[in-house]
Amino acid sequence: MSHDSTAAPEAAARKLSGRRRKEIVAVLLFSGGPIFESSIPLSVFGIDRQDAGVPRYRLLVCAGEEGPLRTTGGLELTAPNGLEAISRAGTVVVPAWRSITSPPPEEALDALRRAHEEGARIVGLCTGAFVLAAAGLLDGRPATTHWMYAPTLAKRYPSVHVDPRELFVDDGDVLTSAGTAAGIDLCLHIVRTDHGNEAAGALARRLVVPPRRSGGQERYLDRSLPEEIGADPLAEVVAWALEHLHEQFDVETLAARAYMSRRTFDRRFRSLTGSAPLQWLITQRVLQAQRLLETSDYSVDEVAGRCGFRSPVALRGHFRRQLGSSPAAYRAAYRARRPQGEKQSDSDGSGAPPPLPVQQEAPVPLQTRRTAAAHAVGPATSSLSTEGRTGAEMYAAGRASLPGQRSAP
């Protein structure tokens, strides 16, 4: 599943400054970045495929810091351009950042802010979202990143509306994607936005990938706790919930175990995990249902009871909303994909049915997934002092409202 902003057409119409060109794509590389994520925009935008019906982009590979740039496996890269080349690009892509715990170079952040102010489209793939957030470009906006890093992004930048379920989020002039292969999804989406479905389809065929993927990151989530929650007292409550998913309990039960009011618990839980506690609990129950459907012969009704759902109807509804498929269809498709030697025979000896088509559900309205943190981001006034404020804070506070930018609910 992906989210395309309803304001995206307006944002796409933002006027570029005179020196920028829409067809020029700058890719910003840093030392320590993973080679796979870095290569995705280079392959999509840097190879001439006009013979296949794909309009050509002009690629500028830019070093975000002094080189040589070391990447996966000890490889050293030398980028042909520096930060100054970004000034010509209509699109700037940050494919990855080396560490979610270290700040990006301020010079690179300034270059991204200038590009955005001059009308450029800014794209963050996977952990590249942390660079965009550090620059203040995601404040008050929806965004995504790899599900494993989403809680950290939400905690470190509370004014960013992080949705770990999406493969990518298009908010008009700022776009972000989930981990690794989701960068391909977002790059194809950019080509589709710029040149239409036919061009994106031709490129997808060349890359041997689907033009669009249904579903989101939910199917890849696991039960591990976010790295930063381990030392928090709330971790005990989260661990208890994971161990008792087979029981019927609600968020009030968790709040009581934490000796907090529901309101305080909601706020603390969201700050630690990046998710509302109710949504997190439902997601964990659905994940448990997935595992049981994959590894057991329990009926769907039995699976619902063993995952804490009050009825099979509740399981089916949440399962379809999160995974785009019914539990029965999911089990059938999973068994059909397994190697022949691993398949369990059905009770009637007929074998597993073929995979059923997965229907993509309509996305949950983004406004319902917004956090109250957006109210902390307000317009700047001349009386505000800049002493002690970071470049990102001053940028976010001082910029004008832009077409395509989401406002607080």
Read off the pLDDT of residues 137-148 as tens digits, 9 standing for 90 and up. 999 999 999 887
What's the token pair of residue 205?
A: 């065929």
Q: How sure is the predictor about 6, in pLDDT bands with cuts at 50, 70 and 90?
A: very low
For 218, the 3-state DSSP assignment is helix
pLDDT given at position 151? 75
Lowest average pLDDT, out of 9-18, 87-96, 125-134, goes to: 9-18
Q: Specify the pTM.
A: 0.60
Indicate whether 363 pLDDT > 70: no
Yes or no: say if 170 and 192 are a contact pair by the CB < 8 Å rule: no
Residue 202, SS3 per DSSP: helix
With a pLDDT cut of 90, the percent of the chain lying above it is 42
Of 249, 236, 312, 319, nearest to 278 by C-alpha is 249
Report the mean per-residue pLDDT for the chain: 78
